[in-house]
Amino acid sequence: MKNRKHVICQIKSGSIAEELELEPGDVLLSVNGTVIEDVFDYQYLTSDDFLVLSVQKKNGEEWECEVEKDVEEDLGIVFENGMMDDYKSCSNRCMFCFIDQMPPGMRETLYFKDDDSRLSFLQGNYVTLTNMKDRDLERIIRYRMAPINISVHTTDPKLRCRMLNNRFAGEALKKIDRLYEAGISMNGQIVLCKGINDGKALEHTLRDLVRYLPCMESVSVVPVGLTRFREGLYPLEPFQKEDAREVIASIEKWQRYCKENYGVHFVHASDEWYLTAELPLPEEERYDDYPQLENGVGMLRLLITEFTEALEAYSVPEEKERIRKLLGENGGMRHRITMASGFLAAPFLSELARAAEREFPEYRFEVAAIRNDFFGERITVSGLVTAQDLVAQLKQRTLGERVTIPCNMLRMGEQVFLDDWTLEEVENALQVPVTIVKSSGQDLLDSMLGIPEREKE
């Protein structure tokens, strides 16, 4: 085991660590006499109600701190390295890998391929299991770290080796059996490639994965993302309308079977399938409380539901009057707002905009669907819209008072776009304020109306 220094970079206000007078720059040496290898060890060992922490202070002194706390209560320590170890890079060469389709010249972190089971637990990332050693698997089972999110793609060992371009990829499927036998919660993902793992191969995979219920809690099926930067890569083709309808028919058949036999729908199609197929989105009940939102499963349905509920609450006469007083008069003029979006969500946002205008006729909302010239027009999600495309296309429009953009256009926790433009640079280029919309329907409506964050309560 590597000898690592787990340096503290932040102490949360009001936390146990603050009471212990720990500080940034201190180093955590051990918990209950055990040297910490990585975040798995830390999460497991600090979950007890009594701890003995060994800490090296910035001045070189070593402290021993006894802690009594509630089980699972957080200590309030943030480390310089959130993983408390090196990140594990991917050992596959998947035929559908999005990172291989990135253009040159972007920031270095965008080219890093992770395949780390610890990120699966911490951040919900999906792992192929090819990087997972027996020791990693044993620690997951011993520590009961769950859920583990698995990029399955196919349960045919030979086909999986071909798709991941890794001769161990088929053998790695056996790790699912061990997780299942240990009762570890899992979620599965299938990136579907036309003519490769769809059709009969998809049927075979779904039939196999149903056997892992209830430990395998859900499975998402998403279409492969294809950018214009695929020279020298496997010649994959995009799914067309009829292809998408066949995929949906297969998924919905298995949903009916799983609901009847297990009480859950289990397998879910991402929103893109329904848009490509030109079919209505499933009703809310079919999403089983949205276990795969991060994979684009049910995001639009949830947004519509939350927005509709928020609009109904604001439509009460007393609430309407409160909002109008809060926002003030506009000299009898309409508020004009531009709502930027990827092509995927734009039609739905337009419907929501018209609904909002009916309740608040003093507003005019224009939805701007941003074409993805950077990655190619086949990429339609807002999370891959660059500032360059945003600015170039919005400059051609009359924008009104301000522009709203979804938060997933920005790097998590920062006001920086995928192509390293800052929010300030975009505002300067457009000469209007840009409002960031959080993920919920309530946040969307509040941003459209211009309700300040502090006034939402």
Task: Tally the domains of the chain.
Answer: 3
Calpha distance 270→81 (Å, rounded): 33
Same domain, 263 and 311: no
What's the CATH code of the domain at 41? 2.30.42.10
Which of 261, 295, 329 finishes a domain?
Answer: 295
Please give the residue range of the domain that contains residue 241: 99-295
Same domain, 262 and 284: yes
- Return averaged pLDDT per consecutive 10 residues of the chain, 457 residues in all: 74 94 93 86 87 92 93 89 69 88 77 58 73 87 88 97 95 96 96 97 98 97 94 94 97 98 97 94 95 91 96 90 74 80 93 95 94 93 94 94 94 87 96 92 93 60
Predicted pLDDT of residue 11: 94
CB 385 within 8 A of CB 420: no
The answer to the question of residue 1 being in a domain is: no
The answer to the question of residue 86 being in a domain is: no
Predicted pLDDT of residue 333: 62
CB 349 within 8 A of CB 367: yes
Unique residue bearing structure tokens 């792992």: 127
Calpha distance 7→224 (Å, rounded): 40
Predicted pLDDT of residue 413: 77
Q: Are strands 434-437 and 186-192 parallel, antiparallel or unpaired?
A: unpaired
Predicted pLDDT of residue 135: 85
Angle at 354 between CA 435 and CA 349, to 5 degrees: 50
361 contact partners, CB below 8 Å, separation of at least 6: none
The answer to the question of residue 257 being in a domain is: yes
